[in-house]
Amino acid sequence: MLTKQRPTGCRKSINTSLHQTQSDSNLLNLLVSETGSSFGFGNSHCPTSQGRACLDKLSHRKLSYDRDYLDFVSHSWSMRLLGYTRVSTAGQGAQLQLDALVGAGVQKRDVFSDVTSGSKTAKQRPGMRRLLDYAEDGDTVVVWRIDRPGRSLLDVLATVNHLRDQGVKVRSVSDNIDPETSSGRMMLGMLATLAEYERELVTERVNAGIAAAKQNGTKFGRPPVDADEIATKLAIAEDARAKGRTAKDAARLVGWSRATLYRHRQAADT
């Protein structure tokens, strides 16, 4: 018997065990209510909008189902198109991106969106977090441009790799990046190379900046302090403590925190 299962937190799945012959009404009802698109059944083809009428016509017909057909149905359900859009401000609007995704076959109800600054990483965006939690093995995430999933090349590649590790493909409409094609795989490989290059450039810039600062006399670490000044402040704080003030109040008298007072006291005792 064909049954539907709806586990908590997961999309609908199908248990494809059934008798060799049974009424087609249950399966057709399942297809009509779940796919949200046209479906083919035997020699019949029905758009979803006419699914109920088709079901009524076929409800008394007995058909046999084989394992290949059921595997096709189950596999088709697992290959879902999900969309993602991102704009920096609400005033920009995401209609251009949405139109491109719908044109690529994504249903509007399956589009995840973010209106957020580009300074946030992918995993800091609520829409992207929902998409990452929702996407499953076999899905394809469709974006308008490959820069939409992340704020930088490194962030984009990290997001793409995270999805691919889950068995989720990523396809970019405007950039024509599709991992199912040889050119798409080449583009992803180029992205990985460029991301590594960007990472090395960042490291080189940081190291060069530190070296230049040192040559100009910049000192790194805790700034030097006057030992006599520390001794004077410590004496004032200790005197306040002897008169019954708390460590916090005594430290505040000389502009220190309690932790700083304890640190200087420990250093003086050694």
69 and 86 share a domain? no
Q: pLDDT grade, residue 33 (50/70/90)? A: very low
In which band, very low, low, confident or very high, does the pLDDT at 140 lie, cut at 50, 70 and 90?
Answer: very high
pLDDT for the residue numbered 223: 66
Q: Is residue 188 part of a domain?
A: yes
The set of residues, in sequence order, having a beta carbon less than 8 Å from that of 154 and lying 6+ positions away, is 195, 198, 199
Which of 192, 215, 246 is the endpoint of a domain? 192
Report CA dihedral (106, 109, 110, 111) to the nearest 10 degrees: 80
Whether residue 27 lies inside any domain: the answer is yes
Residue 168 lies in a domain: yes
Tokens representing 130 are: 């929902």
Regarding whether 96 and 14 lie in a shared domain, the answer is no
For residues 106 and 156, membership in a common domain is answered with yes
Does any domain span residue 204?
A: no
- The CATH number of whichever domain residue 88 belongs to comes to 3.40.50.1390
- Does residue 64 form part of some domain? yes
Q: What is the DSSP string of 9-56?
A: TS--EEE----SEEESHHHHHHHHHHH-S-EEETTEEE-GGGHHHHHH
Higher pLDDT, 267 or 67: 267
149 vs 270, which has greater pLDDT?
A: 149
Residue 65 sits in which domain range? 3-76
Same domain, 72 and 86: no
Select the more confidently predicted residue: 259 or 31.
259
> Domain check: are 61 and 163 in the same one?
no
CA distance 77 to 139: 9
Bridge partners (DSSP) listed for residue 41:
44
- Residues 90, 62 within the same domain: no
The per-residue pLDDT for range 171-228, each reduced to its tens digit, is 998 888 887 788 877 887 787 787 777 778 878 888 888 888 888 877 776 666 777 7
**Domain match, 72 and 115 both:** no
Q: Measured between alpha carbons, how far is 62 from 174 in angstroms, rounded to an integer?
A: 46
Assign 116 to helix, strand or coil: coil
Please give the pLDDT value at position 13: 41
Domain count, the chain: 3
Confidence at residue 91, expressed as pLDDT on a 0 to 100 scale: 59
Asked, for residue 217, whether it belongs to a domain, the answer is no
Residue 154 sits in the same domain as residue 115? yes
Greater pLDDT, 165 or 150:
165
- 42-82 tens-digit pLDDT: 445 555 555 555 545 544 443 444 444 444 444 444 578 99
List, in sequence order, the alpha helices (H) in 47-181.
Answer: 51-58, 67-78, 95-103, 126-134, 153-165
Would you state the pLDDT for residue 82?
A: 95
Does 87 share its domain with 144? yes
Report the pLDDT averaged over residues 117-124.
77
In whole angstroms, give the CA distance from residue 13 to residue 213.
60
Dist CA 58 CA 225 (whole Å): 90
Q: Is residue 244 part of a domain?
A: yes
Residues identified as active-site: 88
Count of positions (residues) in the chain: 270
Q: How confident is the model at residue 36 (pLDDT cuts 50, 70, 90)?
A: very low
Over residues 219-243, mean pLDDT: 80
21, β-bridge pairs? 64
Rounded to whole angstroms, how far apart are CA atoms 163 and 183? 19
